[in-house]
Amino acid sequence: MPVAKPESSDSRVIAHVDMDCFYVQVEQRKQPQLRGLPTAVVQYNEWKGGALIAVSYEARKFGVKRSMRGEEAKEVCPQVQLVQVPVARGKADLSGYRNAGSEVVSILARRGRCERASIDEVYLDLTDAAEMMLADNPPQGMETIDEEALKSHILGLNNEDGSDVKENVRKWIHRHNADHRDKLLACGILIVAELRMQVLKETEFTCSAGIAHNKMLAKLASGMNKPAQQTVVPFSSVKGLLDTLPIRKMKQLGGKLGISLQMDMGVNTVGDLLQFPEEKLQERYGINTGTWLWNIARGISGEEVEGRLLPKSHGSGKTFPGPRALKTVPAVQHWLNQLCEELSERLCSDLDQNKRIAHTLTLHARAYKSSYTDSQKKFPSKSCPLRYGTAKIQEDAFNLFQAGLREYIGFYGGKTQGSHCSGWGITSLSVSASKIVPIPSGTCSIAKYFQGQSTSHFSSMQSSDNLNTEATLSLPSGSECYSEVNLSEPKIDFPKEESWIKDTVPDLDLQEQKDLSSTLSEKTQDGFIQEDISPLLLSGCLEQNRSKQQQDLTKDESQFKSEYKERKGKRLKDKGTYSIIELFKSYNPNPSGSFLSHEYNRTVGGTDASSSSYSRDEEEGRREAWGYNIDEIDSSVMEELPTEIQDEIKSWMQPHKRRPNNMVQRSCTISHYFSPSKKS
């Protein structure tokens, strides 16, 4: 089947930068004496010397592999230097590697849109930079080409005739008759070579890169020539690359889908997919997957490079293999507390440095049931809205585990009994925070809501030395448990406005709780204070001035509570008539009051929301009738009234259309509806 015609995406310049045995390089930077020696980094686990997570190229020459353990590596290469990953809270601490990766990202992002894919790999969209270079200083006119760029591996470039490889690369870059796509790739070669040299200069780390027209091809190319090299995939070489590429080497085809293609379709290389029409693949694997398979066989991928320098989520996990499996609830809780403590630190650091908040907490686990043959049943993952603060995250994570354990045990008809094991074991635990977004602009301080109530106290709280402003950071709509990120202690804690009102003013009815809740919400949304939020606003991120501020806040909370209870006491007498009272300020209790005035220059003002009593107008010469202004009447209020009352009010609002047959019965007039006998 002929190769598909290039799409507009073929004019992009995408690079995938992959750090060379990154963990080893980080350790060698800390211990320069390790440079040039066979070195491996081992995970925290004393069993057989620990598992290798990174192996230097010097050690690989002796046959050391990542699948080995420390003792095995020593047998293969006695001189190998084993460096253990730093340990914190009884588990590996990868923060040093993350920070080192951030150094690299900050350099690469100088030339184009950057997507951090993991600790040690980054995607770059260099299209704009390449177009600019092509317009201002095209490679075809350059007299000298950087030596590092001349080391590039260009797929399809014939170097088998014994000619100088670097000279062939120079000629390829200098071609005047090249099409626009290849000219852009030539610019990409120079840009990536320059960036790699800058990374080496500033961080002492080497990296390899793949340069192509999309992310898929760039990812494949970056691993073809390592370390400290770069590989280029021109469009004309795409078919040759994919024809012989094992199907399981393609991203997302290493699992069940790849196995199915091999077993069911006889596909062993990506090129084998070319024999199947798109309809056939769609019929077998669904429309979306079928189309995707048809495209990748032709090197087509429209996946964009996301402009993301920061991780999409934070996580902390640990495995407990074999006899180390956790078999009691207290043991699980202990390790959950350790994992949550690390997660909380990373969340606070992200908040402090990047002004971002996470919204969702998720627990993952792997488990087995020793007394059943089907012991591979998956432990259900559980999620909930994330509350900031180490203690809160620990509490929520443990609740999620208990819910998952009940469901998992339920698969087998068993029960959990306190802290005792019922034949189950946990072999892996992890907690993660996701849905991380920047703090919404305009988010303001709850302290402003209490203006006039110990404002001097709140002012002192906001001093430059001890900034501890309270803030309400709303979670996404649909959150069931918490509508706000919990505030730092000392605090007025609003896990949700309604629940707070219920706790602090327990004798309010539900409607009144909602009234106050909406008031608080409106105050917050209006944005009393337009200023940036300090990361110290969230609980767990500041641990100072607790005693004094707690006392002051308790005082302010009590004062607010007292005033609100005083207001609501005036409303309890006639609750249920609140909305209609806003329409009618007063009325004439005389039965003859059904006669209504149509003098439009008189208006009915709404009563105070905190009071439900009917006050008579004290204006001199007041008529025994209601006055109203049609323009000020909210028609939506009428929907709360009985049908006959609605008809009467409509007739008042349209007096010129009133006909005798539109008259309602006198016994159903609005004044009768509000007669003293109807009050409760």
CA distances from 593 to 589, 642, 669 (A): 7, 19, 9
CATH number of the domain located at residue range(s) 21-88 in this protein: 3.40.1170.60
Confidence of residue 317 (pLDDT cuts 50, 70, 90): very high
For the chain, what percent of residues have pLDDT higher than 70? Answer: 61
Interatomic CA distance for residues 578 and 608, integer angstroms: 10
Cβ count near 605 (within 10 Å): 11
- 591-625 pLDDT, tens digit per residue, is 444 333 344 343 333 434 333 333 444 444 444 44
Residue 296: φ, ψ to 5°: -65, -25
- 665-680 pLDDT, tens digit per residue, is 444 455 555 545 444 4
Confidence of residue 278 (pLDDT cuts 50, 70, 90): very high
Confidence of residue 655 (pLDDT cuts 50, 70, 90): low
- 135-163 pLDDT, tens digit per residue, is 999 998 898 999 999 999 999 998 766 67
Give 432's contacts (C-beta < 8 A, 6+ positions apart).
313, 314, 315, 316, 343, 361, 362, 364
**Nearest C-alpha neighbor of 496 from the set 385, 616, 356, 626:** 385
Identify whether 484 is a catalytic site residue: no
Give 644's contacts (C-beta < 8 A, 6+ positions apart).
664, 665, 668
Residues of the chain with CATH 3.40.1170.60: 21-88
Catalytic residue among 27, 58, 115, 121: 121
- 543-588 pLDDT, tens digit per residue, is 434 444 455 545 455 555 565 566 555 554 444 444 444 444 444 4
| Per-position b or e across 639-673, b if 16+ CB within 10 A of its CB | eebeeebeebbebbeeeeeeeeeeebeeeebbbbe
pTM exceeding the 0.85 threshold for the entire prediction:
no
pLDDT at 485 over 50: no
- 46-58 pLDDT, tens digit per residue, is 778 888 999 999 9
pLDDT at 463 over 80: no
pLDDT at 328 over 80: yes
Give 288's contacts (C-beta < 8 A, 6+ positions apart).
none
Interatomic CA distance for residues 419 and 596, integer angstroms: 74
Averaged pLDDT of the chain: 75
Residue 560: φ, ψ to 5°: -65, -40
Cβ count near 178 (within 10 Å): 17
Confidence of residue 645 (pLDDT cuts 50, 70, 90): confident
Q: Are 586 and 670 in contact (CB under 8 A)?
A: no
Give the strand order in the sheet containing 230-232.
113-118, 121-125, 14-19, 207-212, 230-232, 153-154
Residues of the chain with CATH 3.30.70.270: 98-297
- 371-418 pLDDT, tens digit per residue, is 654 555 789 999 999 999 999 999 999 999 999 999 988 755 555 545
CATH number of the domain located at residue range(s) 98-297 in this protein: 3.30.70.270
Residues of the chain with CATH 3.30.1490.100: 314-409+424-438
Kindly state which CATH superfamily the domain 314-409+424-438 is placed in.
DNA polymerase, Y-family, little finger domain (3.30.1490.100)
Confidence of residue 461 (pLDDT cuts 50, 70, 90): very low
For the chain, what percent of residues have pLDDT higher than 90? Answer: 51
